Structure 1
Amino acid sequence: MRASCLRCGTAADSAFAEKAERSLFLAALVTQMDDFREQMESDWAAFSDELHHRILPALHATDDVSIDVAALQKMADDVREQCLAWPGPVQAEFEMVAARVAAAAAVTALPKRWREKQDLLNHFRQLKRKLRRNGAVERDVSLASVPGDSSPGFMEVALFFCTLRAPSGRRTPADFFGTARAPAPSEGLVRVSLPDFDGVASNGPELPFGWTHHRKRATGNTSKSLEISSCIVLDIEHFVHHVVAGREPGSRETTVFVHGFNSTFANSALKMALYAYKLRENPIVLFSWPSFQSVDQYGGDEAHAMWAVSHFVAFMKRLLTSYRLEKVHVLARSMGSRVALYGLARLIGWKAPKGAARLGQLVLAAPDFDTGEFFDLQAELSQVVERITVYCSANDQALHLSARVHGGLPRLGNFSTRGLHSASRHVPLADNVDVIDATGFDKSVIGHTYVFTHTGVVEDVCAVLRGAAAASRRAALRPERFEDAFRYWRFVGGAERPAKAEQENVESELCEENAT
C-alpha cells in the first residue's frame, strides 16, 4: 500500500499516511458492508468467508504480545487487496472507496498516543461483528468479554462538521483546525471516544452508522475522559454520502450545533459527543466558526461570528436542499446564538425548492444575545421554526460580564424576570417560544456550561431535539409567572447534582470556558 502526504513529502509523513490509510479503509469496509453485500448478491458468501479466514489470527489474539503489528499490517493490506481484486460490479465501488480513503488519509489527524496495533485489532474485531450480523460467520468465543473485565468499554461516536477555520498545520485531531479564517469551508468527520456508561453496545439495537465499540482505545487511555479519536476532511460528495448514510432507518432529521466564544474546534466536538451519544437517532453536524480562543479577544470573536453568518446561511440552505432530509434542528450556544439567529433570520423570506427539508427545533443555550433584539426577532422567526427553546440562568457570570461590555443591556441567557418581563411588554412572546430557567444547575464559578454538565438539562435538551411536546407537557418542568404576565418554566426538583457517573465522564474533559 502506498500513500503520499498532500501537505509535505517527508518519509515520516508518508509512513503516517500509510497507517491512516489502512485504518480508514477497514473503517470504510465496516460502515459500508451492507451496501457491498447487496451488490455482491450470490458472491457474498464466498467473499465474506475468505475475509473471515484472513482476519482469524487477529480475532484469536488474546493479549498485546500474541500478535505483532507487522502481522496486522499485512493482514490489513491483504484485506484491501482482496476487495480490490474481487471480480464483478462491486470492484468499481471498492476502487472508489480506496481512492477516497487515500485522499482522506493525507489530511487525517490522529492523537499523539494513537497506536496502530490496537487500532487495527479494534477494526478487525468490529469487522467480525459486522460479518456475524450479516450471517457470514457463527458467533465464537474470540469476541466474548474477557473474564473478570466488567468495564463497559468505549463508544466511538461520529460527528460531521463544517468549519470556517483554516487548518493549523498540525496533525493531531485536537489541534487540526486553528484560529484563522479559511478561504473556503472544510467538511468532514470527527470521531470522539467516550465510556459506554449507558451500555449502548450491550443493551441497544445495532449501532448508528459510523459508530464503533471497543474494549480498549487505540491510544491506550483507560480513563473516563472523552478524547478525539480522529479528524478526517472529506470532499463534498463523500461528505453528503456519509450524512445521508448516517441517519437511522426511517429517520430524516439532523441537528446542527453552533459553538460560542473562546471555543476550540476540539472542545466543541467533545461537548457535542455527549449529545450524539444520548440522541443516537439522528446525526450531529458541528458548524465551527473561527475563534481567537482567548478571553482577551471578545471583540475579535464578535467580528468572526458576524463574518460567519453568511456562510452559515449558505450551509443551511445546502443542508435543507441537498441531503434528502425532512427536518433540520439547530442548537446554538452563547455567542453562537448570534450566528444562528441572524442566519435563520435571513431564511425568513427564502423560497425553498420543492422537497426541501424544513426547520425544526431551535435551541438557544445560555445565549449571548441582546434580549430586546431577540423579542423583536422572535415574532417572525417563530413562524419558520417549529419551536424556540431558551435555556438561561441568573448565575451566569459570563453573561453578566457580556452585559457590562454591552452598556448594561441584558443578555437573553442571563435570566431576569424583570428584564424579560419588560421586553415582553413591548413584544409578547410567541406561543411556540419557551423560556426555561436553569438557575443553580451549574455549580462552577462561571456558571455557563450547565447545558453540557448537568444531566437534567442535557436530558431536557435531548427531549426537545427529539421533537418532544412543548414545555407545558414535559414532566421535568413546572410553569412560573411573573406579575401574572410573563410566563417561563423551571425544572421540577430544583438544582440537584448530576448523576455521578456522567458528571465524572463529562466534567473530567469539558474544560470551563472563562467567558461566554
Structure 2
Amino acid sequence: MFVGLGQSSGICRAEPIIDAQVVLQICQAFSNKSLEKMPAIVLPEAAKQFLETYGRLSEKFDGCLSAIETKSWRQAGTIFLLQHTRYESYWRFSADETSIKEISIRHYRPVTLAGDAEWEEPFRDRPPSTSAGKTTHIYIDSPPDNPNIIEFFYATNRRESDQPVSLEDNPMPTSKRNSTTVFSSSGWTAVSGFTGERNADLSFGAARVRVPEGHQIGKIELPSTIKILGIAFRSDSADPTRHFTVRSIAKTSEDQWIKSLSSTKKKRALIFVHGFNTKFQDAVFRTAQIVWDLQYSGAAVLFSWPSRGEIADYLYDKESALGSRAALLRVIDNLRKAKFESIDIIAHSMGNLIAVDALSNASATKSPPLIAQFVMAAPDVDRDMFLQDIPKVAKVAKGLTLYASANDKALQLSKRVAGNIPRAGDVPPSGPIIIASVSTIDVSAIGDELFGLNHNAFATTRNVLNDLKILIETGAKPPRLAEIRGYPEPPQKPIYFRYSP
C-alpha cells in the first residue's frame, strides 16, 4: 500500500499510507493480542514488540471505534487519536518507505461525558529487575476511578451565566475557541452555569457531580449558611468529602449531544424535570442525588427550565414553565434519535405543568413520543386541567404514577396563589385524585418537616426512593413495598395506595 509523494532532488519517494482503516486493523489485532491479524504493512518484529510492550492495555482498549490523524504534536512519526469503547488513546507510528517499523502508545484516559479525565502515560512491560537486593515489578494499572462521581446529561432553556467558570481541582485550559475556554480535546466547553432568566434556544451539555463519602440516602449535603432576613452572614466552605460539589459543567452542540448519548450504548434514559423555586445548581445536585440513590444504570438527563429559585417569583416560574413545553418535547425527540429503547420521566412540582401539557398535546401528533414510566411527584397542576389531560397522556405513557400529599406546604401555597383551586398533588379530605390509568400513592404520612416546605418527599425518603427504584427498573404496579398498602384495605379492592411508616 504505497503512494508517490512527488520528487525531491530528482528522486521519487514512496511512503506507506497509514490511514484510519490500517490503524483500526492494528487496534483490533492489538485488542485480541493477535499477531496473525496484524496488517502486512507492520513489520513482524514491530508487531511483536508492540504486543509485548503494551499487552496489558489490550483489555482496556476493546472496541476500536474510530481513528483520527492529528497534527497537534510536534513529534516525528504519525499520530492518531483512537476512540475505544471505554478509553481513548494517542498512538505514534514510525515508518519508512515500505513498512511500519514501530508503534507506541503515548497517552490514554477513560472516556467521560465531560471529557476531562486525566491523561495517563503507559509504562512499558519489563522483566523484574533487581536493585540493592530488592526485586522491582512495573505494572500498568487502571487510571484511578472515583466511584463518587455522578455524570449525566443536561438540556436547558435558561440563559447562560456570565460568571467566571469554577471547576473542582482548577484544571488548566487547553485552548480558546471563539473566546470560550476549552478544557479538553474532546470539544466539550466548560461553562459557569445558568441563571433563572429565559433563553430563546436550548443549551446542551453534561455535568459531573461529586457525592460525599458520608452521603445519606435522600439528602443533599451542602455547606451550612446562616441567613437573617434573606441576607447570608456566613457560609461554610464546600468540602468534597462532606458536601455535594460540582466537578464540571460542560457545554456542547446539539448534534454532539445526541452523538454522545448514542455512544453510551445504553438502552434506557431517565429525564428529570425539576419544580419551581429551583436554581440551576440545585437542579444539578438534585439530579445527582436521585441518580446516586436510585443507583440508576441508564443515561440520566436533567431538563432544567428557567426558574429563578425564589418563592416570590412563583408567577414568573409558572410562565417560564408554560413556555418550556416545546423544549421538553425536543429533548425527548433527541433521545429517540439517539436510539434509546425506553424513556422514563420524573417530573416534580411545577415540572409537571410542562410534562403533562407537553405529552397531552403530543399525543395527537402523527409521531407521538412513547414514554415507559411517567412519574408525577407532587404535581403543581390545576386539578381540573390534570383530570382533563391525563387520559391523553395515557395514550403515550405505558405507566403513570402519582405521588400526592396532604402536607405539602408548597402546594398549599400554590393553591392560594391560584385562587384556591386544588392542585393535582394535593390530598384533600375527600382523598387524592383517582384516575383509572394512574397509580396514585398518598405519601402524607411522611410528615411536614422535610426542608420546611416538605416538597421533595419523593427524593428525600428512603422508602419512597425504594418504591421509585422498583418502578423504574421493573415497571411493577403497586404495592411494591410492605410500607405502601392499598386503600381501602382487603377484602375490598383498593382504589389508591397509601404510605404507612
Shorter-chain TM-score range: 0.5 to 0.7
Percent identity between the two aligned chains: 22
Report the residue type matching 2:327 in the other structure. H
Residue 343 (structure 1) aligns with: 358
Report the residue type matching 2:341 in the other structure. E
Q: Structure 1 residues 143 and 246 mapped into 2: Cα distance closer, same or farther (>3 Å)?
A: closer
CA–CA separation in structure 1 for the residues paired with 2:495 and 2:264? 39
Q: Greater helix percent: which structure? A: 1
Residue 193 (structure 1) aligns with: 210
Q: Which of 200, 210, 220 matches 1:183? A: 200
Residue 7 (structure 1) aligns with: none
Deviations 1:240-294 (A, max 9, x none): 222123344xxx1101111111111111111111222233320110111111222
Q: Which of 450, 461, 480 matches 1:454? A: 461
Structure 1 residue runs of 4+, over 6 Å off? 36-39, 50-53, 82-85, 141-145
CA–CA separation in structure 2 for the residues paired with 1:82 and 1:442? 64
Q: Which of 420, 440, 443 matches 1:437? A: 443
Q: Map 1:6-25; keep pairs closer than 5 Å.
A: none
Residue 298 (structure 2) aligns with: 282
Matched, 1:329 2:337: no
Report the residue type matching 1:163 in the other structure. T
The answer to whether the Cα contact below 8 Å between 1:480 and 1:487 also exists between their aligned partners in 2 is yes
Matched, 1:359 2:365: no
Matched, 1:40 2:55: no
Shift of 1:389: 0.8
CA–CA separation in structure 2 for the residues paired with 1:39 and 1:435? 57
CA–CA separation in structure 1 for the residues paired with 2:153 and 2:313? 27
Deviations 1:393-413 (A, max 9, x none): 211111111111111111122
The answer to whether the Cα contact below 8 Å between 1:361 and 1:467 also exists between their aligned partners in 2 is no
SS in 1 for 2:211: strand
Q: Which of 406, 420, 424 matches 2:418? A: 406
SS in 1 for 2:288: helix
Q: Which of 119, 123, 145 matches 2:118? A: 123
Deviations 1:485-507 (A, max 9, x none): 98221234x1xxxxxxxxxxxxx
SS in 1 for 2:311: coil
Deviations 1:18-64 (A, max 9, x none): xxxxxxxxxxxxxxxxxx988722356739956999xxxxxxxxxxx
Residue 301 (structure 1) aligns with: 317
Q: Which of 162, 184, 188 matches 1:169? A: 162
TM-score by length of 1: 0.61
Q: Structure 1 residues 394 and 231 mapped into 2: Cα distance closer, same or farther (>3 Å)?
A: same
Shift of 1:224: 2.2
Q: Structure 1 residues 39 and 173 mapped into 2: Cα distance closer, same or farther (>3 Å)?
A: farther
Q: Map 1:34-433; keep pairs closer than 5 Å.
A: 40-43=27-30, 46=50, 49=53, 81=73, 87=79, 90=82, 123=118, 155-172=148-165, 176-195=193-212, 221-248=239-266, 252-277=267-292, 278-320=294-336, 322-352=337-367, 358-420=370-432, 424=434, 429-433=435-439
SS in 2 for 1:439: helix
Shift of 1:331: 0.5
Q: Structure 1 residues 315 and 84 mapped into 2: Cα distance closer, same or farther (>3 Å)?
A: farther
Shift of 1:419: 4.9
CA–CA separation in structure 1 for the residues paired with 2:53 and 2:444? 55
Q: For structure 1, list consecutive stretches of 5 or more residues without a partner in the other structure.
A: 1-35, 54-79, 96-109, 111-118, 132-137, 146-151, 200-218, 495-516
Q: Structure 1 residues 82 and 378 mapped into 2: Cα distance closer, same or farther (>3 Å)?
A: farther
SS in 2 for 1:386: strand
The answer to whether the Cα contact below 8 Å between 1:326 and 1:358 also exists between their aligned partners in 2 is no
Matched, 1:479 2:474: no
Shift of 1:306: 0.5
Q: Structure 1 residues 50 and 314 mapped into 2: Cα distance closer, same or farther (>3 Å)?
A: same
The answer to whether the Cα contact below 8 Å between 1:382 and 1:433 also exists between their aligned partners in 2 is no
Shift of 1:378: 1.8
Q: Structure 1 residues 237 and 196 mapped into 2: Cα distance closer, same or farther (>3 Å)?
A: farther
CA–CA separation in structure 1 for the residues paired with 2:76 and 2:194? 33
CA–CA separation in structure 2 for the residues paired with 1:89 and 1:436? 54
CA–CA separation in structure 1 for the residues paired with 2:204 and 2:329? 15
The answer to whether the Cα contact below 8 Å between 2:238 and 2:245 also exists between their aligned partners in 1 is no
Report the residue type matching 1:369 in the other structure. V
Shift of 1:194: 0.6
CA–CA separation in structure 2 for the residues paired with 1:268 and 1:376? 29
Deviations 1:463-512 (A, max 9, x none): 22213310135444211139x798221234x1xxxxxxxxxxxxxxxxxx
The answer to whether the Cα contact below 8 Å between 2:325 and 2:354 also exists between their aligned partners in 1 is yes
The answer to whether the Cα contact below 8 Å between 1:84 and 1:94 also exists between their aligned partners in 2 is no
Report the residue type matching 1:123 in the other structure. E
The count of residues paired between Structure 1 and Structure 2 equals 364
Q: Structure 1 residues 402 and 395 mapped into 2: Cα distance closer, same or farther (>3 Å)?
A: same
The answer to whether the Cα contact below 8 Å between 1:154 and 1:195 also exists between their aligned partners in 2 is no
CA–CA separation in structure 2 for the residues paired with 1:334 and 1:254? 21
SS in 2 for 1:391: strand
SS in 1 for 2:312: coil
Q: For structure 2, list consecutive stretches of 5 or more residues without a partner in the other structure.
A: 1-22, 34-49, 58-71, 91-113, 126-136, 168-191, 217-236
Deviations 1:74-127 (A, max 9, x none): xxxxxx849996556949x979xxxxxxxxxxxxxx9xxxxxxxx99x7357x8
Query: Which has the greater radius of gyration?
Result: 2
CA–CA separation in structure 2 for the residues paired with 1:257 and 1:349? 23
CA–CA separation in structure 2 for the residues paired with 1:346 and 1:382? 12
